[in-house]
Chain A
């Protein structure tokens, strides 16, 4: 019995590896959407600027609490198309920096098995206009049967991401933009 058969050892190893493999697969629960809604607002005395992106991609790993958000800047739509063009051409420079992203980790995981809403904090990095900023965002996670809904509301200071506002604009733009997001995630299949 004490005699170790190399063949047996190898087989055991293989079995162990497979077990590892399956366990990670079952543990790693991924939830995703590609139609998340991200809004932003800028209220100024002259004109309120608002835009919406309804093609935001979100991926959440419920095991680790890691979360990734990605959106094309060009998918932000404004009621005024000239504003939309200026936003892309002059402010966000979407040809140079086509995407905005956020990657982070939920600091304290909610109970995914219970339906209900939990306040959460997410530590992570926000990338806008090619400039990264470490951010802690607060929001809510609602678990409902097979869906997980994430909502958040935070501010983005233009100077944090080196977005310049020209001196000769007729419509004054606020230095801080309010962002609201609402993402409804469903189980992810690759």
Chain B
């Protein structure tokens, strides 16, 4: 009898597998468990000042307007800095989903910046052998077109160039928290101040904490490894809020840096948080899809 019951149960099994809910279970078993890259480690291609591991997707164009106002401690007469503003305009474009290029024009030093970003590694979730971090390479060249930093001196084309190389290493720890480390190599063919070094190495840390589905608190900081401590420069710190409104990302923040490109905020920040040299600023980004795939729909 016992044998019979076992045999019967065994035989009844295929029928049970095909019943009701089990069709769904069967589909789940068939589904591929391939590791998926995490989405949106950061909301945009910047944390605040620093580049984030994110790149523009293929055939997408981002138009960015960044503003930094004057210093808060400039007083009521200057409307706490709001009377003055510097701006950077930029166009950034995704050649592939992993490779992007960008160009920008900063009012500060009348500088043109050209950069490229490439996603080297992507953090994944799911399978056992998932990638714990994302790594993006960043390289830029900047030309300062504003004449003579010191009156009377002349500068060659070469003198006006600065190069930046960065390794952007980030991890999305949870849906809410993402952190990034940014080792930086900054080379000035001719530094703004004659007693400054050509080569500056720096380490950046930054991150975002989502407080709601559309709002996050962001921060980034750079520690510059300077040998000369007599320079009037400070480390850059920015704190802000990102608000996302479908198509736009508004980034509102406070920072002691006036410049919005690496050369300026990592190497030439003259403001000090301690003294109240804080600039209110915002970045607005609007992304356009240039992808017009008509074959998307069957009919």
A residues neighboring B (CB under 8 Å): 10, 13-14, 17-18, 20-21, 24-25, 28, 30, 32, 34, 37, 39, 50, 52, 57-59, 61, 63-64, 66-68, 70, 72, 74, 79-83, 85-86, 88-90, 93-96, 101, 103, 166, 168-171, 182
- How far apart are the CA atoms of A144 and B253 in the complex, in Å? 62
Q: How many whole Å from B55's CB to the nearest CB in chain A?
A: 11
- How far apart are the CA atoms of A5 and B166 in the complex, in Å? 85
- How far apart are the CA atoms of A89 and B247 in the complex, in Å? 13
Q: How many whole Å from B10's CB to the nearest CB in chain A?
A: 8
Name 5 extra pairs, CB < 8 A, besides A57-B27, A82-B287, A89-B213. A50-B296, A79-B291, A85-B40, A166-B214, A182-B298
- How far apart are the CA atoms of A21 and B214 in the complex, in Å? 55
Q: How many whole Å from A55's CB to the nearest CB in chain B?
A: 9
Q: What are 23 inter-chain pairs, A to B, with CB distance below 8 A?
A: A10-B3, A14-B4, A25-B14, A32-B30, A50-B297, A57-B30, A59-B26, A61-B23, A68-B26, A72-B31, A79-B291, A79-B292, A79-B293, A79-B296, A82-B60, A82-B289, A86-B244, A89-B40, A89-B213, A90-B214, A103-B24, A168-B243, A170-B248
Q: How many whole Å from B125's CB to the nearest CB in chain A?
A: 8
Question: Using Cβ atoms and an 8 Å threshold, which residues of chain A touch B247?
Answer: 82-83, 170-171
Q: Which of A59, A74, A80 contacts B287 (CB 8 A)?
A: A80
Question: Using Cβ atoms and an 8 Å threshold, which residues of chain A touch B19?
Answer: 66
- How far apart are the CA atoms of A10 and B298 in the complex, in Å? 58
Q: Are A81 and B18 in contact (CB under 8 A)?
A: no
Q: Are B31 and A57 in contact (CB under 8 A)?
A: yes
Chain A: CB-nearest residue to B5 = A13
Q: How many whole Å from A44's CB to the nearest CB in chain B?
A: 11
Q: Bits for B1-38, please: 1 = Cβ < 8 Å to A, else 0.
A: 00110011011101100111101101110110000100
Q: Is B83 an interface residue (CB 8 A)?
A: no
Q: Are B14 and A24 in contact (CB under 8 A)?
A: yes
- How far apart are the CA atoms of A63 and B291 in the complex, in Å? 44
Interface size class of B (residues with CB under 8 A): 35 or more
Question: Using Cβ atoms and an 8 Å threshold, which residues of chain B touch A182?
Answer: 298
Query: What are the 3 A-B residue pairs with the smallest beta carbon separation, nearest first?
Result: A68-B23, A81-B57, A21-B11
Q: Are A70 and B28 in contact (CB under 8 A)?
A: yes
Question: Using Cβ atoms and an 8 Å threshold, which residues of chain A touch B31?
Answer: 57, 70, 72
Given A52-B296, A81-B60, A95-B175, decide whether A89 and B8 contact each other with a Cβ distance below 8 A: no
Chain B: CB-nearest residue to A75 = B36
- How far apart are the CA atoms of A79 and B291 in the complex, in Å? 6
- How far apart are the CA atoms of A66 and B3 in the complex, in Å? 33
Q: How many whole Å from A114's CB to the nearest CB in chain B?
A: 23
Question: Using Cβ atoms and an 8 Å threshold, which residues of chain B touch A20?
Answer: 11-12, 15
Question: Using Cβ atoms and an 8 Å threshold, which residues of chain B touch A79?
Answer: 289, 291-293, 296
Q: How many whole Å from A30's CB to the nearest CB in chain B?
A: 7
What is the predominant secondary structure among interface residues of chain B facing chain A?
mixed
Q: Are A170 and B23 in contact (CB under 8 A)?
A: no
Q: How many whole Å from A170's CB to the nearest CB in chain B?
A: 6
Given A50-B296, A59-B27, A170-B247, decide whether A74 and B39 contact each other with a Cβ distance below 8 A: yes
Most buried by A among B4, B23, B39: B23
Q: How many whole Å from A122's CB to the nearest CB in chain B?
A: 13
Question: Using Cβ atoms and an 8 Å threshold, which residues of chain A touch B40?
Answer: 85, 88-89
- How far apart are the CA atoms of A17 and B289 in the complex, in Å? 61
Q: How many whole Å from B42's CB to the nearest CB in chain A?
A: 11
Given A20-B12, A79-B292, decide whether A170 and B24 contact each other with a Cβ distance below 8 A: no
Q: Are A170 and B245 in contact (CB under 8 A)?
A: yes
Given A30-B18, A169-B246, decide whether A17 and B8 contact each other with a Cβ distance below 8 A: yes
Question: Using Cβ atoms and an 8 Å threshold, which residues of chain A touch B30?
Answer: 32, 34, 57
Q: Which of A24, A32, A80, A85 contacts B39 (CB 8 A)?
A: A85
Given A24-B14, A169-B246, decide whether A103 and B23 contact each other with a Cβ distance below 8 A: yes
Question: Using Cβ atoms and an 8 Å threshold, which residues of chain A touch B15?
Answer: 20, 24, 28
Q: Are A37 and B18 in contact (CB under 8 A)?
A: no
Most buried by B among A20, A58, A59: A59
Q: Are B23 and A89 in contact (CB under 8 A)?
A: no
Given A28-B15, A90-B214, A171-B246, decide whether A52 and B175 contact each other with a Cβ distance below 8 A: no
Q: How many whole Å from A22's CB to the nearest CB in chain B?
A: 9
Question: Using Cβ atoms and an 8 Å threshold, which residues of chain B touch A64?
Answer: 18
Q: Are B24 and A68 in contact (CB under 8 A)?
A: yes
